[in-house]
């Protein structure tokens, strides 16, 4: 039995990046032998085990064969006679198809180290075309490493889209890869790669339409600005989509089955980004209406995120953000309980609290 570190850990070491997770491939072992050594089986489709002490994943070397459309359509074969080279052959990109043995020697049959040096994303074999998720992964890695896509890989991705493979992607996997891509250093790159191969129109048609409408550049600039601020996933998603109509945002979120927090902030950004961008020039009544519309009293933390999403990349945005922050803080500081105790009846209480908040906003504007 031999154990190798494989994939991203080897790649990131070569790039001088911190290694977050180690994945291991075990060659020459059976599931029964792994269990005897104390490993705990966790794989559903193929043999994967957790180390008894570190709880890191150890997978038996395996091959795979395409049996149906989409990324679910595979059968796997894991056995002691499957070699490391056979296991690496099934991987997506050359930079992910390297291994390191226990002595530290790197096994690199597909010249991944050379592609790392050249900053290129290149598929390992024609089997790349069997899994449409790999299109999304290429786009995500391009955004992470600022690598280019090899011409032959680009051509293969175009063929995959034209063959309908991208149509087989399910919402959960698209969102999973999109969310990871949005959190990369230059997330706009992801959309450029998907657009070039035609996949963007299939999986994110509302975003693809921005290119034809001449609005993609502004949307992607807002996204990258949010990334430079190290904003949350929700803020980045909302910054990207704020140029869309709210109905288009809702349709895209439904298609992606996006988490409620991402959906809600993106819809609010689409509805109120223009008003927020003009925030420094709004009167007290307009500010009051804006804060009421975004549920600013019960969800104050969401106001901060919404303002960040709406102003990402906007000229003069920091001045506007500070102004809105002061206004919101002043209105929040109103002691609604104390105001309510001086009134009788629900309508009077509501009106009095609203007036007190409006007065506070007037004080900020003055």
Domain boundaries, the chain: 1-122
Confidence tier at 291 by pLDDT (50, 70, 90): very high
* CA–CA–CA angle 49, 55, 59 (5° rounding): 25
Report the candidate in 204, 85, 217, 195 with the shortest Cα–Cα distance to residue 149: 195
- Note the pLDDT of residue 69: 54
Over residues 96-146, the pLDDT tens digits come to 999 999 999 999 999 999 999 999 999 999 999 989 999 999 999 999 999
For the cut 90, the answer to whether the pLDDT of residue 341 exceeds it is no
Instruction: Return mean pLDDT, the chain.
Output: 92
Give me Rg for the CA atoms of the chain: 26
Q: Is 359 helix (H, G, I), strand (E, B) or coil?
A: helix
Sign of CA dihedral 321, 325, 326, 328: positive
User: Global pTM?
Assistant: 0.88
Helix (H) or strand (E) holding 135: helix 133-145
- Note the pLDDT of residue 179: 97
So what CATH class is 1-122? alpha beta
C-beta of residue 63 within 8 angstroms of C-beta of residue 86: yes
- Note the pLDDT of residue 45: 67
C-beta of residue 71 within 8 angstroms of C-beta of residue 173: yes
Confidence tier at 67 by pLDDT (50, 70, 90): low
Strands 74-78 and 40-41 come out as unpaired
């Amino acid at each position: 039995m031999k154990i190798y570190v494989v994939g991203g850990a080897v790649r990131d070491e070569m790039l001088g990046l911190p290694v977050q997770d180690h994945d291991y491939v075990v060659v020459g072992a059976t599931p029964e032998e792994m269990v005897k050594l104390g490993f705990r089986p966790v794989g559903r489709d193929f043999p994967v085990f957790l180390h008894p002490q570190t709880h890191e994943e150890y997978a038996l070397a395996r091959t795979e064969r395409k049996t149906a459309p989409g990324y679910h359509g595979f059968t796997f074969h894991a056995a002691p006679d499957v070699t490391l080279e056979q296991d690496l052959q099934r991987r997506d990109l050359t930079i992910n198809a390297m291994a390191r043995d226990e002595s530290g020697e790197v096994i690199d049959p597909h010249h991944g180290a050379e592609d790392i040096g050249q900053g290129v994303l290149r598929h390992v074999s024609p089997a790349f075309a069997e899994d449409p998720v790999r299109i999304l992964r290429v786009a995500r890695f391009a955004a992470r490493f600022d690598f280019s896509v090899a011409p032959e890989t680009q051509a293969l991705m175009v063929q995959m889209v034209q063959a309908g493979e991208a149509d087989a992607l399910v919402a959960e996997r698209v969102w999973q890869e999109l969310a990871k891509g949005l959190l990369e250093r230059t997330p706009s790159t992801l959309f450029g790669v998907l657009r070039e191969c035609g996949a963007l129109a299939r999986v994110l048609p509302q975003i693809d339409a921005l290119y034809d409408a001449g609005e993609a550049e502004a949307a992607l600039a807002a996204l990258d600005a949010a990334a430079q601020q190290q904003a949350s996933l929700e803020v980045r998603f909302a910054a990207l989509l704020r140029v869309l109509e709210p109905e288009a945002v809702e349709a895209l979120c439904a298609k992606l089955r996006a988490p409620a927090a991402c959906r809600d902030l993106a819809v609010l950004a689409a509805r109120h980004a223009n008003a927020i961008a003009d925030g420094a020039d709004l009167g007290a009544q307009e500010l009051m209406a804006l804060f009421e519309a975004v549920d600013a009293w019960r969800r104050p933390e969401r106001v901060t995120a919404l303002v960040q999403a709406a102003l990402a990349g906007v000229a003069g945005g920091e001045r506007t953000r500070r102004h809105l922050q002061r206004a919101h803080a002043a209105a929040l500081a109103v002691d609604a309980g104390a105001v309510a105790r001086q009134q009788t009846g629900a309508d009077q209480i509501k009106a009095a609290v609203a007036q007190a908040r409006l007065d506070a906003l007037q004080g900020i504007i003055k």
